[in-house]
Amino acid sequence: MNKDLFLKAAPILNQIQENGFEAYYIGGSVRDYLMNRPIHDIDITTSASPDEIEAIFDHTIPIGKEHGTINVVYQNENYEVTTYRAEGEYKDHRRPDEVFFVRDLYQDVERRDFTMNAIAMDTDFTIRDYFGGYEDIKQKRIVTVGPAEERFTEDALRILRGLRFKSQLGFEIETNTYKAMKQRMADTAYLSIERIIVELTKLLAGKHVAQVYPLLLELHFFDYVPFFKDYQMDHIHIDEPISLELLLAIMMYKQPNTNGALADLKISNEMKKTVKMYDMLFDKLETLSEKKALRLLVYDYGLPVLSYILTMHETLNKNHISTGHPLIVNQTSIKAIYNDLVISKRSDIAINGKIILETLNRKGGPWLKDVLRNIECAIINHELQNEQSEIIKWVKANV
Ligand code: ATP
Ligand code: MG
């Protein structure tokens, strides 16, 4: 049930109230509850100061105390409890210069981004909705709290958040809010790339990304983002949810002469590796013409990666990237091949480099890597049995 998480957290709110302060559920959890969507985490807003919250609860973690946020640990769960806050001036289009703790809920919700995110809810599920957020949810509208242009000028991340919410929720962006997005988009150049990437990743994974991608182009969003700004993003087609890594691989594969440095995006090395792996895989799929080669592909890249690529075949094909002939490469064939693999990794080979060196009485070198790869391929292709004596015979005959 959708109420469960709130009921679990209710004792925290009750305890704050018993100590003479106000406390409400706030933000995404209330929005999602009112929309009947699954709730992932619960945020609490309170009139109590961070020190007062620490005094009330036995187990707290001061994760963002200077901004008013204390984690309250209750029944092994973490709850973010944030003091009502008003914000000072914004000078750099991304962060207020100072925040003030206040005792009035209205001042706290007034600084929030969208009306749907500014609804406070009590433990008995009554809402305090100063800006008509519930009506906007019912009308499926994304509307800023207060004048849109001002709110986006203060913090340009709100523009991306609005587009991200549209992609996740399928709402319309109210006319003035959209106009202001257009007017203030250039301010996103002040945002850190890390925060942009967080929002963009969520946006791309949103169910309604097909409706939002054209807006990103219309708003010239990519013009202000490192790396992306060098690519012709209007040549890229996206009409279904997609991972950031796959999008990057498509861009780089389709526009190889663009010299964007992936490092500018400050994504993890693991993500970069995934991008490069997709890129290599596209090359292989392009030239794949027989089942034998597919076996090696399934072995090298694994089932989850290939399966994901096939799920995305429509997007890839629209972007003129081949996913192989559907009669050869399909979900059924790759699963069957995978289940049939003689070995699943290099260490499964019944021989190792040391034994090969001993057998051939040779010194190690780059050639050994090639030999091991050839053995691996021969085993995968059923040309060689995975038995040490057989492999030794093969090595003596072939090296
Ligand atoms: P999600 O479901 O993705 O967590 P959310 O709305 O809860 O969405 P959070 O980033 O968790 O988003 O932020 C919690 C709340 O804090 C928001 O609902 C909103 O009220 C407020 N908020 C977050 N970022 C901003 C911002 N840049 N400007 C103003 N208010 C913000
Ligand atoms: Mg949240």
pLDDT at 382 over 80: yes
CA of 160 to the centre of ligand 2 (A): 15
Q: Which residue has the higher pLDDT, 349 or 259?
A: 349
pLDDT tens by residue, 36-72? 999 999 999 999 999 999 999 999 999 999 999 999 9
Is 221 a residue whose pLDDT tops 90? yes
Is-contact 261 222, C-beta < 8 A?
Answer: no
Q: Which amino acid, residue 231? A: Y
Q: How confident is the model at residue 2 (pLDDT cuts 50, 70, 90)?
A: confident
Q: Tokens for 267? A: 């994504």
User: pLDDT at residue 399 above 90?
Assistant: no
Residue 90 has pLDDT above 90, yes or no: no
> How many Å lie between the centroid of ligand 1 and the Cα of residue 2?
20
Question: How far is Cα 17 from Cα 299, in angstroms, rounded to an integer?
Answer: 59
118 CA: nearest ligand 1 atom: 20
Tokens of 385: 């049995």
Instruction: Inform me whether the pLDDT recorded for 231 exceeds 70.
Output: yes
Q: Counting ligands in written order, which one lies closest to the CA of residue 26? A: 1
CB 68 within 8 A of CB 92: no
Return the best residue to mutate from 30, 32, 113 for the ligand 1 pocket (most ligand atoms within 8 A of CB): 113
Per-residue DSSP letter, 230: G
Contacts of 61 (CB under 8 A, 6+ apart): 70, 71, 73, 78
- Positive or negative torsion for Cα 148, 214, 31, 133: positive
pLDDT above 90 (res 203): yes
Higher per-residue pLDDT: 22 or 260: 22
Mean pLDDT value across residues 306-322: 97
Atom from ligand 1 closest to the CA of residue 155: 27
Question: How many degrees, rounded to 5, is the angle at CA 36 between CA 32 and CA 41?
Answer: 35
d(CA 117, CA 131): 10
Phi, psi of 333 (to 5 degrees): -65, -40
> What spacing in Å lies between the alpha carbon of 55 and ligand 1's midpoint?
26
Ligand 1: residues whose CB is within 6 Å? 27-28, 43, 112-113, 117-118, 155, 157-158
C-alpha angle 122-125-129 in degrees, rounded to nearest 5 = 70
DSSP helix/strand/coil, 77? strand
Taking 80 as the threshold, does the pLDDT of residue 181 lie above it? yes
Ligand 2: distance of its center to the CA of 39 in Å? 9
Nearest CA to ligand 1 atom 5: 28
pLDDT at 260 over 90: no
- Burial of 222-242, coded b for 16+ CB within 10 Å and e otherwise, reads bebbbbbebbebeebbbeebb
Closest ligand 1 atom to Cα of 41: 4
pLDDT tens-digit series, residues 276-294: 999 999 999 998 888 888 9
Q: Which two tokens stand for residue 196?
A: 């942009």
CA gap 81, 69 in Å, rounded: 6
